[in-house]
Every structure is written in structure tokens, then in C-alpha cells.
Structure 1
Amino acid sequence: MSKNLDIINHHESVVRSYVRNFPTVFTKAKKHKMWDENGKEYIDFFSGAGALNYGHNDDTMKQKLVDYIMSDGITHSLDMASTAKAEFLQKFDDVILQPRNLDYKVMFPGPTGTNTVESALKLARKVTGRTDIISFTGGFHGMTIGSLSVTGNSMKRQGAGIPLQNTVTMAYDNYVDHDTVVYLERFLEDNGSGVAIPAAMIVETVQGEGGINAARFDWLKQIEEICRRWGILLIVDDVQAGIGRTGTFFSFEAAGIKPDIICLSKSLSGYGLPLAVTLIKPELDIFKPGEHNGTFRGNNHAFITAAAALDYWKDDSFEKEIHEKSEIIYNFLEKIVEDYPELEGEVRGRGFMVGIASRVDGLSEKVAARCFELGLIMETAGPNDEVFKLFPPLNIPKDELQKGLDIIGESVKGLVKDPVAN
């Protein structure tokens, strides 16, 4: 075993996770590829769990960041004003919000996804004066207490060590055979249901950790209509599904909805640097100064790369490219399911946020492990890790995308055709 891996395994807490699935020491990354200390090359279909939608070390972002650092640009400033912040805010409004006819105030809650979710839950409760939040089966929203309270995964919830309260879980789209929207509204209407009118509903349009479950656009529209009818705020957690991962900058665009609050992080910085924002409809922007804050909510280096990343969205060419490659991925997965019925597989997801759920216990984990052996980094998702999950960078060239897909095909073929040897 590698000396560096020995050091990590000896000193780092047992809570470490991804190093167990990818047991090597990485030394270099560029675009859609990573290399380990032995010089082995890997195609990256993981993309930092969605934090690297534009791949590793984008040349333009890197150069702008280096120039900023070399000019002694502000690194840390809490929420003081900086040129980097102002430039990001203006460009985000010009390139993203205005063309989509969206009007939001931008809050910097802290550097990570769970920070934006926590701020959204707090604000919803403050605005409405209510305490409860409705979340959905399969949802994942972060690892701090408020975010865990609206997360479905029982193993992660148990890590809180205390009761997680003031939340109600309802059935996500297609969780059961009947119409889950009718079921949800019945709970709100019935004074005997035990469910109080909540401050907000929080939803992912495509559930990442929950198993790549994609809600129908009509279902999302109905959820919005219920929220409007009952005076409930709608929070869309776009931390993983946003920034182009499902085909459009915001994952909810095709559904035609306009959430009250939007949570963004992961690929927002474009470079893997920590950055999160909470987008708030102007009339809901009622926090007192400093009522929600944090030391690292003003990451100027991330502002620099995030502003550069927005160049991808100045016209519709990048979005069209995502859709073209999405079709290649989806067609490939459909063929895998058709060619290998032994998988007992189902294609799930949307855009570049897709995977195959296998009903064969442990098979998806074996597929991911075999892919790693063959030079492809890919993870699993779902409550039982039953989905092998494809998250390539959005700008991966088509020929390199195909190479990664071929590795998946080879891995699946080997496992289902010779299960005893595996």
C-alpha cells in the first residue's frame, strides 16, 4: 500500500468515506481526468459529487484566480464589500437572473450546501411565524441539525444524536403507486391529520443521494400550486441538481415554477472552491443585519472563479451541448438495461444526473468498484447504494464521454456474465 495512503488511514478519523471507495492517492487533475501517485489515469464520472460541473482546473478560471492572488486581492472579508463580490453579483444578475425573468436577493450564508439550507429554513420560519417544514422521502439536504431534520436517510439522521423535530416527511413523486400530491393536500386539509400548516416545503427536483429520483415537471408544478394556495414557502434545494447538472442552470426551469427560496452551492464557484448562496424573493428578505452570519461567507477567491464560470451561460450554446450529450448518456443506459436483464435495472435521472438502479443486492457497488479498477471514478447512491450514478463534467468531450461509457459497459458485462468470479 502507498505510504501516503497509510498515513491517511492511520491519522484520519474512521468517518472518512470516499477514500474507502477510491483507495489511491490522487496527485493531479485536469478537465475530466485525474491521476494518482502511480501515474494511473482515471476518467472522472464523479465530479466532486457535483462540485466540479466544469471539470478540474479550468484554464480561464485558474488564470483569473492566479492573477487575483498575485495582485494581492482580498482573500477574506466576511461580508464586507469587495470588488470581487460586486463583480460576481452583477454578472450573476445579468447572465442568470434577468434572462430568466427572476428577481431574487442574494444572501451569502456560509461556504457550503448545508449552510444555505439552514439559512432557508430559518428564514421561512421567521417570515411565516410557523415552525414546521415539510420535506420528502429520499431527500438529502445536508449534515447539520436543521438540514438533517429534513433529510430522509436514517443512517445520516442517527448521526445527529438528538431528536430531529419540527419536520414532517411526505411521499416524493412516484414513491408509491397513488398520486402523492392528493395525499399531501389531504393532510393539509384535514384538521385531524396531525400535520400543521408548515412554514415551507423543501424539495429537490432530482434527488441525488436519495437515488437519482427525478420528479415529473407536472408534480413540481402541483407542489408549487399547493404552496401558493396555503401560504407555504417553496424552497428548492438546487445544491446538487443545479448549475446545469440537469440540463439548465436551475433544475426547475423546465417545470415553469418560481421558488420563494433557492439553495445553491457545489458548482457555483466553478472551480471547487467553497461558495453557497441563498436566493430570496425580495419581499422575504427580512433578516436583521447579522441575524444569520458566518466567518467564511465572503469567499473572494470563489467569487472570482464563479464570475468566470458564468461565461459558459452567456448564450444557449452550452445548454444545447449539455442536452446533446445527455441524450448519448441516457440512450447508453437504456441499452445497458435492455442488453443485460440480469441487472434488473431501471434508468433514473435527468440530464447529466443519471444512473441505473439495480434490484440485485450489492451489484451497483460492484459495478462502481470494477469501473475504478478499469480507470473510471463513479459512485453509488440511494438508501441501499442500489444506484450506480453518472456525474461526468458537463463540458467533457463526446469522445471522452464515450470512453467512460465503454468502461461502464465492460464492467457490467463482466459482472453479469461471470458473477461467480466476482
Structure 2
Amino acid sequence: MTITPPALSVFEALESEVRSYCRGWPAVFDRAQGSHMFDEDGHTYLDFFAGAGSLNYGHNNPVLKRALIDYIERDGVTHGLDMSTTAKRAFLESFQNNILRPRDLPYKVMFPGPTGTNAVEAALKLARKVKGRESIVSFTNAFHGMSLGSLAVTGNAFKRAGAGIPLVHGTPMPFDNYFDGTIPDFLWFERLLEDQGSGLNQPAAVIVETVQGEGGINVARPEWLRALAELCERQDMLLIVDDIQMGCGRTGAFFSFEESGITPDIVTVSKSISGYGMPMSLALFKPELDVWEPGEHNGTFRGNNPAFVTAAATLDTYWADGQMEKQTLARGEQVERALRAICEEQSGTHFRGRGLVWGLEFEDKPRASAVCKRAFELGLLVETSGPESEVVKLLPALTISPDDLDEGLRTLARAVRETA
């Protein structure tokens, strides 16, 4: 289809220059359903972005929408701080019955605030409180959020520079395969920990993504994650897994670390935990780490009761029988086949991913942005990731139909061919 950019005068006149996604997708969106978005001019777009992973179950999922409408119509509590409410109880019971107990996970649940970076800040704060140390180790190309504590453990130079002040108490280490297999895993990290002259303060914790989304869809091997967990245990460091984008089934299992068989000390969850795209986040931690004093960490919007309602409905609908994981892995195989075909046809391209998060990397780095631009013109929403925006990132809804997934993959292949 041919898309004519709309007049965006009010956005350009009043909205800050910080806006970003709208620059790559110059349309005024009006409606959304399932895996499709519709602009005010009647154009239809297939969504392989899913709210940056916040819409794992599609736009306006009818089951979740019904639960939300019913709750609002009966004047259910909307804003509740951390008061006990029936909506919160229903979520906690569903989370315990559908997620924690079946996986034998002992976690306590904390509601730190509405966004992922709130959960990361709470996790870092708790780790420092428990261990009585300041330093946190993160990894190259990590992304953990845009507030100051989260930026200190984020790798991207452009995002870090926005802080405007020194970002301290964070130390980066090489992520899995950073040296293309030429250096043994954790050789540098463990040497620094054991050398009294290294200058590395004993860390309170290590924070890691099992799949680095913003960093370029870098997938950590299960054996690397197991070795990291063992290192943390040997060296008296807490292990924090940031599952904000890769959790809630994005890689197949509900938690992205399940495949590796580890049990992190702390887990951060957000994005698709509400199921409906509403702000909600969790910090999960082992019971012995629950050393908070009442009110020691709080926030006005940590009790988003409408999000509790849709979250409980999501878990009861999609996570009670194990079918969602099987479906996601099957859809992932469909994506993998299509990306392999693209890479066989187009030199200078590489792909990687798990479940329903995939990246198509271009050696000619600017080409990734050109592919996203052409895909938009053809009616497909995809974004770039990676330190130089060299990767086209695919995040379709977990509920996408095989036909819609195939259509989007064909459109992507066309966009790649037409930008060669």
C-alpha cells in the first residue's frame, strides 16, 4: 500500500523533541485489535512490535477487555496504593497458582511502581541493602531502564549520556560470546573478584538479561547462565534476572531463565505482566531477602488495580494449561525458517533469537533502519535494536495467527530485498 504521512502539526508544535517511535512510523493511529493497528486514514498495519513487548496477547484482547470493562462498570477500586483489594488478591492468588507453585519458585512479590525501571531500581536497592555493598555488575550491551540507577547498569552510550551526571557503582563485564568464543567464560570477571589488587569492589549483585532485547537480540546460552549463577553463589553475590521484556512467555516459558534451570535471587517483571498493556511491574525475590521496613520503598502508582484485573485474567486464560508455551515455540520455529531463508538469499545478514523474539542483523548497519522504513511503507511495524541500530527486531504478539505471522514475514523479506 502507499502511505502518505499525515499532517502532524500539533505533535510537532507541542510535543517534545524526545519523541522517537512516531518518527519512524509517521501515522496517526486510531484503533488496534489483535495483531493489527489502524490509522485515522484507514490504513492497516501488521504489528511486529507489540508495544515493545508489552502486548504479548495482542491489542485489546477480548477476554482481558471484558474483565476490565466489568471491573470498571462495577466501580472497582482504580487507585489503591498498596492497600489490600479484591483485585490484588485475585492477581496474587492467580500468580501463585499458575506461575510460582507449578515451577516451585519461592518468591515474595513486591509492587514497586508502574514501569520496568521501577522494578530494576527496587531490585538494586534491595540487593545493596541485603549485602551492605554498593557495587553492581552488569553486562556489555545491557539495557535496564532510563532512571539513574538503571542507567548505571545499562551499556548503551547514547542512553547513558542522557543522565547528565556520572553513573557510578556499576561495573560492566563481557556478555556471553562477547569475544566470539576466544576467551573462557568469566575468566576476566572471576580474576578481578579474586585479585586483591584489581580495584573491583566486591559487588552486591549481578544483573543480567537472558536475551538482550535493546542490545541486539543477544541470546545467552543456558550453560553460560548456569555458570553465572554458580559464580554468584561462590562469590556471595545476588543474581538478578531482568525479565522485563523477555518474561511473560516471550521466549516460550513464562520466565526466560527456566530453560537454563537456574533460580535467580531476584527477578524483575513488567511490560506484559498486566496482559493488556497497562502499567504494572513486579520485583520477585527469595523470602530471606525480604528485609524491607514498611514504606521503605514505595510509590503512588504501585497499586494499579485495573492492571491486577487483566493480569489475573491473563494468567487464568493463557497460563493454566501449558499450551501458550507450546504455541510460542511453534511460532518461533516458523520465524526461524523465514529468517534462515532471508539470510540464505541476502549476504551480509545474520539472525538469532528464541521463542518469539528474533533479530535480523545487517553487516551494512544503516540498512536495518532502511528495512524498517520500507516495512512500514508496506504495512508492517518493526523497529531496530543494537548499539548501532543494526538489528531489525521482531516482537510479534504470542497470540498471532500462523497466517498473520507468515504475512508479516513475507513483508519483511520483501522489505529486505527492496533495500538491497
Q: 2:328 aligns with which of 311, 322, 325?
A: 322
**What is the CA-CA distance between 1:2 and the residue it aligns to?**
2.9
Aligned 8 A contact 2:365 2:389 in 1: no
2:383 matches 1:379: yes
2:334 matches 1:331: no
Q: How does 1:357-372 map to 2 (within 5 A)?
A: 357-372=361-376
Q: How does 1:93-172 map to 2 (within 5 A)?
A: 93-172=96-175
Aligned 8 A contact 1:368 1:377 in 2: yes
- Opposite residue 323 of structure 2, the aligned amino acid is S
Q: 1:219 aligns with which of 202, 208, 224?
A: 224
Partner of 2:271: 266
- Opposite residue 366 of structure 1, the aligned amino acid is A
Which whole-Å CA distance do the structure 2 matches of 1:103 and 1:380 have between them? 37
**What is the CA-CA distance between 1:91 and the residue it aligns to?**
0.6
- Opposite residue 386 of structure 1, the aligned amino acid is E
**What is the CA-CA distance between 1:165 and the residue it aligns to?**
0.4
Aligned 8 A contact 1:349 1:355 in 2: yes
Aligned 8 A contact 1:136 1:152 in 2: yes
- Opposite residue 338 of structure 1, the aligned amino acid is E
Q: 2:305 aligns with which of 293, 296, 300?
A: 300
**What is the CA-CA distance between 1:179 and the residue it aligns to?**
2.1
Q: Secondary structure at the match of 1:222?
A: helix
Partner of 1:279: 284
Greater CA drift, 368-377 or 353-362? 353-362
Task: Let me know the Cα RMSD of the aligned residues.
Answer: 0.8
Aligned 8 A contact 1:238 1:263 in 2: yes
- Opposite residue 60 of structure 1, the aligned amino acid is V
Q: Kindly provide the CA deviation profile for residues 113-138 of structure 1, in whole angstroms up to 9, marking residues without a partner as x.
A: 00000000000000000110000000
- Opposite residue 131 of structure 1, the aligned amino acid is E
Which whole-Å CA distance do the structure 2 matches of 1:95 and 1:381 have between them? 32
Identity of aligned residues (%): 54
Which whole-Å CA distance do the structure 1 matches of 2:256 and 2:340 have between them? 22
Aligned 8 A contact 1:181 1:219 in 2: no
Q: Kindly provide the CA deviation profile for residues 371-422 of structure 1, in whole angstroms up to 9, marking residues without a partner as x.
A: 0000000000001000001100001000110000000011111111xxxxxx
Which whole-Å CA distance do the structure 2 matches of 1:201 and 1:90 have between them? 30
Q: Kindly provide the CA deviation profile for residues 175-205 of structure 1, in whole angstroms up to 9, marking residues without a partner as x.
A: 1131232221111111111112200000000
Partner of 2:85: 82
**What is the CA-CA distance between 1:38 and the residue it aligns to?**
0.6
Which whole-Å CA distance do the structure 2 matches of 1:83 and 1:304 have between them? 9
Q: Kindly provide the CA deviation profile for residues 85-116 of structure 1, in whole angstroms up to 9, marking residues without a partner as x.
A: 00000110000000001010000000000000
Q: Secondary structure at the match of 1:90?
A: helix
Q: 1:396 aligns with which of 396, 400, 407?
A: 400
Aligned 8 A contact 1:60 1:308 in 2: yes
2:261 matches 1:256: yes
Which whole-Å CA distance do the structure 1 matches of 2:365 and 2:272 have between them? 32
Partner of 1:420: none
Which whole-Å CA distance do the structure 1 matches of 2:325 and 2:243 have between them? 17
Partner of 2:71: 68
Which whole-Å CA distance do the structure 2 matches of 1:36 and 1:9 have between them? 18
Aligned 8 A contact 2:80 2:303 in 1: yes
Which whole-Å CA distance do the structure 2 matches of 1:359 and 1:133 have between them? 33
Q: 2:18 aligns with which of 15, 20, 23?
A: 15
**What is the CA-CA distance between 1:20 and the residue it aligns to?**
0.4
Which whole-Å CA distance do the structure 2 matches of 1:339 and 1:44 have between them? 24
Q: Say how many residue pairs are matched.
A: 413
Which whole-Å CA distance do the structure 2 matches of 1:9 and 1:375 have between them? 23
Which whole-Å CA distance do the structure 1 matches of 2:197 and 2:251 have between them? 39
2:95 matches 1:59: no
Which whole-Å CA distance do the structure 1 matches of 2:414 and 2:6 have between them? 28
- Opposite residue 402 of structure 1, the aligned amino acid is D
2:327 matches 1:313: no
2:229 matches 1:208: no
2:234 matches 1:229: yes
Q: Kindly provide the CA deviation profile for residues 220-269 of structure 1, in whole angstroms up to 9, marking residues without a partner as x.
A: 00000000111100000000011111111000000000000000000000
Q: Secondary structure at the match of 2:38?
A: strand
**What is the CA-CA distance between 1:361 and the residue it aligns to?**
2.7
- Opposite residue 314 of structure 1, the aligned amino acid is A
Which whole-Å CA distance do the structure 1 matches of 2:419 and 2:140 have between them? 31
- Opposite residue 359 of structure 1, the aligned amino acid is E
Which whole-Å CA distance do the structure 2 matches of 1:191 and 1:357 have between them? 40
Q: 1:189 aligns with which of 194, 216, 222?
A: 194
Partner of 1:34: 37
Aligned 8 A contact 2:116 2:268 in 1: yes
Q: 1:413 aligns with which of 380, 397, 417?
A: 417
Q: Which runs of 4+ in 1 moved over 3 A?
A: none
Greater CA drift, 388-397 or 190-199? 190-199
**What is the CA-CA distance between 1:157 and the residue it aligns to?**
0.4
Q: 1:349 aligns with which of 333, 353, 358?
A: 353
Q: Secondary structure at the match of 2:186?
A: helix
